[in-house]
């Protein structure tokens, strides 16, 4: 895995540490986005009248 991270970081002209930090930030942001989408879906479903 280290070799993969090194190759991707080099291709993006960044250090491995910068790549890892960026990946963690994206993962955290994605989790927040997923929670917001699920909450919106739940509200929409709860707002619907029963069939």
Burial class for 19, CB neighbours closer than 10 Å (0-12, 13-18, 19+): middle
Taking residues 1-23, report their average pLDDT.
95
pLDDT value at residue 43: 92
SS3 per residue for the chain: CHHHHHHHHHHCCCCHHHHHHHHHHHHHHHHHHHHHHHHHHHHHHHHCCCC
Residue-range domain boundaries for the chain: 2-47
Contacts of 14 (CB under 8 A, 6+ apart): 22
15-45 pLDDT tens trace: 999 999 999 999 888 888 888 999 999 999 9
């Amino acid at each position: 895995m280290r070799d993969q991270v090194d190759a991707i970081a080099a291709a993006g002209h960044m250090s491995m540490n910068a790549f890892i930090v960026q990946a963690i930030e994206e993962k955290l942001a994605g989790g927040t986005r997923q929670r917001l989408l699920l909450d919106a879906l739940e509200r929409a479903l709860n707002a619907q009248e029963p069939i």
